[in-house]
Amino acid sequence: MNQTFGKEYKLCSHTLIEKLFQEGEKFRDFPFLINYLRLEKPISQKDFSVLISVPKRRFKHSHDRNYLKRSIIEALRKNKFILEETKVFKNRPFAIAIIYNFNSLLTASEIEDKLVSTLIKFVAQIKQIN
């Protein structure tokens, strides 16, 4: 299994990010908030594009925000197969924003455990909608 997390997975388009937050749907699971939007046409070669955010309102120091973002990216890199192996995304790609929504720092292993459980619940909800 390829465990890279290259540029093709990253959501960079400003118009698409605006559309994601205005028209997208929300899924909450502690400590994450996931905004997602089903796209009409693919923006990259992959089935999903991801934006990761840690609010400045909750963490004033940039080193804390950067630590959390790096931990989330690393956990997503190791466990992206949860999203890739689902047949739900094969029809139309998704734009996904993962927002860390908790007031205190967690360790990298705790973030990975919670992100895996959140992704599993998210995929189950998407399968129910379809």
Which domains are delineated in the chain? 7-129 (3.30.230.10)
Would you say residue 43 has pLDDT above 70? no
- Spatial distance between the Cα atoms of 130 and 111, rounded to a whole number of angstroms: 28
pLDDT value of residue 109:
96
Closest CA to 86 of 123, 113, 122, 112: 123
Q: Which residue has the tokens 């205190």?
A: 104
Contacts for 126 with CB less than 8 Å, ≥ 6 apart: 36, 86, 88
Q: How far apart are the first and last CA of the chain?
A: 27
Residues 25, 77, 42, 121, CA torsion sign: negative
Closest CA to 39 of 23, 52, 27, 53: 23
Closest CA to 39 of 58, 24, 56: 24
Q: What's the pTM value of the predicted model, to 2 decimals?
A: 0.90
pLDDT value of residue 89:
63
Burial bucket for residue 102 (CB in 10 Å: 0-12, 13-18, 19+) = middle
Mean pLDDT over the full length of the chain: 89
pLDDT confidence bin for 37, thresholds 50/70/90: very high
Would you say residue 42 has pLDDT above 90? no
